A and B are shown apart, each in its own frame.
Chain A
């Protein structure tokens, strides 16, 4: 949008002219309903203005009239590629607010859920990200393993997408016995499969040309924009909440935090690939050290009783009725609890005035923050690079718009 300074002069046919186009909100490579208004000079991106909000459902407002338990299903719809980790983040925040500890077995299963969610989220990112850049084969490979993981998620939670599995003070149910041997089998073969993906991309000349030195962001800029997760680590900043502020027992497991050096699309790719390997390592340790015992805390005023007890004991029936219809009050106060979600720091800020619903609930989502950095990363690059940049940031609009 250049300004015409002198109307009387004949137009210069060689003067630079820009075209402004809409990329999205319905565009296959914007990963949902992201709209980018792009000003192009030929194929060069002059300016990008991201517009968000197309998927805004007012979740934070809805939470203000919900009991804490009733809000869990809403969290499924944040990062809908890793609903389990959203569920865990939310219940951890509530448990912090009401100061409730959960048994070791519950903590371990939650870690298991988070890492399964991480691998499946990264597989989706890898498949669609490669597809965006024309590497369609990778997509079919990653969806094969993703399917296996979704089968595990279905075994654990009963559903594939809208998991709502954790509860305040525990889990909806224990994991089924047949899960562990199947998961073990998967973990045995998966590192070899990651190698297969890498053979398709890591040294692929086209992949390198499309991702190396594309969308580079320095550590300083990444911090200034507030990036977290793989997007921050790719710029060389070793910040992982599982190490920095361990939750749900992550301090028991040994794993490495991969970091990049240049902060380009290629580094973001490498970091996520390595994270999948580390998740395998964590899952193996979780299985090897999985504690026995109950999965729910012993707090009848907060934790839902087992179905069997509800049907046989009057007291449990009453508790069930009160927890479901009225909920439980949380003390006056405020907490912020964050986890290392597949996309970065996912945090819940809860402000309670002593009621059975939060006075204010704020969801700090990593994708919302990442999108802010797109203009700086893309301006001056080619329009095809913009596709690579959006894919490499791995945004998901469910958690951006909330």
Chain B
């Protein structure tokens, strides 16, 4: 799909996006601020009927990023909503689980490993870390050495 076609298809949420980046054919990244993530994902999942694939949480230098990957299986495209969480002290973002049940585990995982709080998540309990893992230590943050 051409960049202009993406523009047209995404027009209802276009003003919520900071851009539409096509890295190659069938790969699109949609950067946005954290507060718009639910609105955008609702549109992709419910209106465009794209499949939720998985999410990636990233400890970037000056912020946290939550990437929600979607697939449009009809065209084979992978569309990634890239939400920036600017507050590094108390990183939080709205949960998409009430909208997309498939996101429950991965949001719990990001909560465990990166310490990102997902607002309105129905069950934000530990999934990956052991019950006796110390509070406040998040293994996927960059300050934790491998």
A and B part of one assembly: no
